[in-house]
Structure 1
Amino acid sequence: MYLKNPSIKLPQDPDTIVWKYLDLSKFLELLLSKKLFMSRSDKFEDQYEGTFSEPTFEEIKKLSINNPKFLSYYKSHREKVVISSWHINEYESFAMWQIFTGNSEGLAIQSTIGRLENALIPDKKFKQYIGEVNYIDYKKEYIPFDDMFFPFLFKRKSFQYEREVRIISDISDSNIKINDGMKIDVDIDQLIEKIYIHPKSENWYKNLVIELVSKLGFDFTIEKSDLESDILI
C-alpha cells in the first residue's frame, strides 16, 4: 500500500473502474518485469505538464524576487517526477482505443482505484501518491503550491476527456537518475482485474494474448472488446 495524502483528491469508491490502453509489447514488458513504467513529467506531449496556471505563476514570481532559486527549483522539479496515467470510466472508451492503440493489436487493462492502491509496493527511496486530475482554466484559476504534488494533478480543460487518475512518484530525495522514465515494483495480480482485446483485432490475436499470458503464469480474464459486434441489424 502507498501512503495516503488527505490533500489529494481521489474517488471515494475503491471499486471505481480505471483503464490503461497500451500495445502488446508494453503489456508483455509489464508482465515480464512485474514493474510499471512511469513517464518523466517533462517528457509529456503537453508542455504545461507540471507547470502552474497564470494566477499561481504570478504569485510565485513575487515570492522569487528575493529568492531566485525558488522559481528555478519548481522548473527543475519536473525532471524528478514520474507519472503513470489511468482513465476513469465505467465502460470502455472508443476515443482511448483510438488515441493510445495505433493499430488493431492493442489491449486495455481494466483495474479499480482500490486495486491501484493495493498494487503499489512501498519504496523508501521516494514518495508516491495516487490522485485524480483536476481540469481548470489556466488563465483564470489558481493551483495551490503548498504541496509539491499539486502541479501534477492539474491540467487544462481541453484535456477533460482523459478523466485521468495518476500514480505519481517524486524521486527528488533519492539518487535515482532517469531518462524518459523509470519502472516501479507493483503486484501484477492486484493491478490487473481484466484484459480487453482491441475491438478490431482478429481471433488469432486474442488467442495469442491468452497463450502468452498463460505461459507467463497469469490467469487474468481476457475478453474481446464488445465495441464492435458481429451481430448487425
Structure 2
Amino acid sequence: MYNKDHPTFIIKESLHKPIWRYMDFWKFLNLLETSSLYFSNAENLGDNYEGRIPKIVYELMIAEDKENGNTNNQDTNDYLESHLRKETLISSWTYDEKESFAMWKMYAKDKMGIAIKTDFVSLISCFNKTERDIYIGEVSYFDEENFRYPTNNLYYPFLVKLNYYSSEKELRCITSCRHDEEHESKLVEVDLNELVKNIYISPNSKPEFKKMLSLLKTEYKLNFEINFSEVNDSWL
C-alpha cells in the first residue's frame, strides 16, 4: 500500500507529468505473468554509489565525530553498508513530457523494447494489492559545490544520486525487506490495469511485434493502449 506519510519522499515535478519505465520485452512479459513489479535491492542497481553517503559528506561526518569524541556518524555509515543497502528495495521510473532517446538506448535498446507510460495517481493506486509499505519520491541530484545532506535520515541516501545522473529525472518507489525474509530483491504485487495505461514499443520494431502485444493484452485481460515510439533513430 502506498504510504504518503514520510517527509523524505517529495513529489513535486512528477505530480502532473507522464511517468515512464523502459524495459526489454522479457521483463515486460514477466510483469504480465507475475502481476508484480521487480524491486531490486540497492546493492544490485549497478551504481556503486547507490545508497552510500557522498565522500565529501562522509569526510565531514567523520570530522564531526572526532570533534565530539564519538562514533555516531561512523555508526550510521556502517549500518547503511552492512544492512540498509541489502534491505532497501527500489523500483525506478522517470518523469518527462515525452519519450526519451537516452532511456530507450539504456534500458530497452533492442527492437522488442517496451516503455510503460502511466501517471502518478495510477502509480500509487497500483500498489493497493500489496501489504508492504511503498514510499514514492523524486530523486535529487548531489552537487558538491552547493549541497544540503541530512545525515540523520536513513532513507535519504536512497533518494540522492550524483549530479551526472540528473537527466534521468528519476522517480523511485521504495520498500524494505521484512525482518523475517531474505535481504534480496523482491517481486511486489501490483494491479496492472491501474498501472499500465499506455505502452510504447521500440523504435524500428516490426509490425508483428504490435500484433503479439495485442494478443498478450487480450490474454491477460488488460486495457492498455499500444503505440509505436515516435523516436526515429538508427542508433536504436
User: What TM-score range do you get, normalising by the shorter chain?
Assistant: 0.7 to 0.9
CA drift of 1:121 comes to: 3.0
Match of 2:92 in 1: 85
CA drift of 1:40 comes to: 1.1
Note closer, same or farther for the CA distance 1:70–1:163 as it changes in structure 2 (3 Å cut).
closer
TM-score (norm 2): 0.87
1:159 to 162, 165, 183: 165
Note closer, same or farther for the CA distance 1:103–1:198 as it changes in structure 2 (3 Å cut).
same
CA drift of 1:14 comes to: 3.7
CA drift of 1:15 comes to: 3.5
Contact 2:129–2:191 (CA<8 Å) still a contact in 1?
Answer: no
* Cα offsets for 1:143-167 (capped at 9, x unmatched): 2133221111100110011110000
1:118 to 119, 125, 138: 125
SS of alignment partner, residue 136 of structure 2: strand
For the pair 1:228 / 2:229, whether they are aligned, the reply is no
Length, aligned pairs only: 226
* Cα offsets for 1:95-118 (capped at 9, x unmatched): 111111131110100011121111
Contact 1:104–1:201 (CA<8 Å) still a contact in 2?
Answer: yes
For the pair 1:201 / 2:202, whether they are aligned, the reply is no
1:74 to 39, 58, 80: 80
SS of alignment partner, residue 37 of structure 1: strand
CA drift of 1:63 comes to: 4.1
Q: Residue type matched to 1:90 in 2? A: E
* Cα offsets for 1:121-178 (capped at 9, x unmatched): 3755x5431000001124762321332211111001100111100001122x522214
Contact 2:14–2:95 (CA<8 Å) still a contact in 1?
Answer: no
CA drift of 1:60 comes to: 3.7
* Seq. identity, %: 30
Aligned counterparts of 2:8 and 2:213: Cα–Cα separation in 1: 40
SS of alignment partner, residue 154 of structure 2: coil
Note closer, same or farther for the CA distance 1:157–1:191 as it changes in structure 2 (3 Å cut).
same
Supply the RMSD in Å over aligned alpha carbons.
2.2
Q: Which runs of 5+ in 1 are unaligned?
A: none
TM-score (norm 1): 0.88
For the pair 1:10 / 2:11, whether they are aligned, the reply is yes
